[in-house]
Amino acid sequence: MKRRLVLIPQRGSGAGVSEGGDKATFDLWIGTPGEPGTDISTHYMVRKPGTFFEVVANAKIPTWDEDLILDILKSIDQGLSWESILPQGQKLTIAKGYTRQVKLTAFAAAPNNAVAVDDWLGMDCLQGEGAESVSVVVRWR
């Protein structure tokens, strides 16, 4: 049976984010069947502008057959089009069997390295079925 990863975004409180920053937290579980490479997350609507400075992720129950590869996406037109916030050729990768924190601090060139009020954030699973309890936090200030 083919399964899809489902991402549930939670509103960031800004707790622990210095001087007016904000965050979007995505929690990932096993979901219903679906195709990797499609927009499988619900969307986070940005309320505070800023420049990205960190993405952290952790898989409590990792994949065992292949790496989990995720892309973090931004839309400036309410989901009509999406662009990666990560550098060209780089994606958020959690190695198979890995349960420790993964951190990224490099982002795409402007304008995709920042968010404005009313931009949307989402995530796309490019590879890696079987992970559970995966948390991804995107932070900006």
The DSSP secondary structure of 72-122, one letter per residue, reads: EEEESSTTSS-EESSPTT--EEE-TT--S-EEE---PSTTTTEE-TT-EEE
The amino acid at residue 82 is: W
Mean pLDDT of 24-35: 65
Q: 114-138 pLDDT, tens per residue?
A: 999 999 999 888 887 777 888 899 9
Segments forming the whole domain that contains residue 28: 5-140
Query: CATH no. for residue 48?
Result: 2.60.120
Enter the tokens of residue 112. 């995709």
Record the pTM: 0.81
Q: Is the dihedral of CA 96, 2, 56, 38 positive or negative?
A: positive
Q: 76-127 pLDDT, tens per residue?
A: 999 999 999 999 999 999 999 999 999 999 999 999 999 999 999 998 888 8
**Which tops the pLDDT comparison, 15 or 56?**
56
Report how many domains make up the chain.
1
Those residues whose C-beta lies under 8 Å from the C-beta of residue 89, and which sit 6 or more positions away, are: none
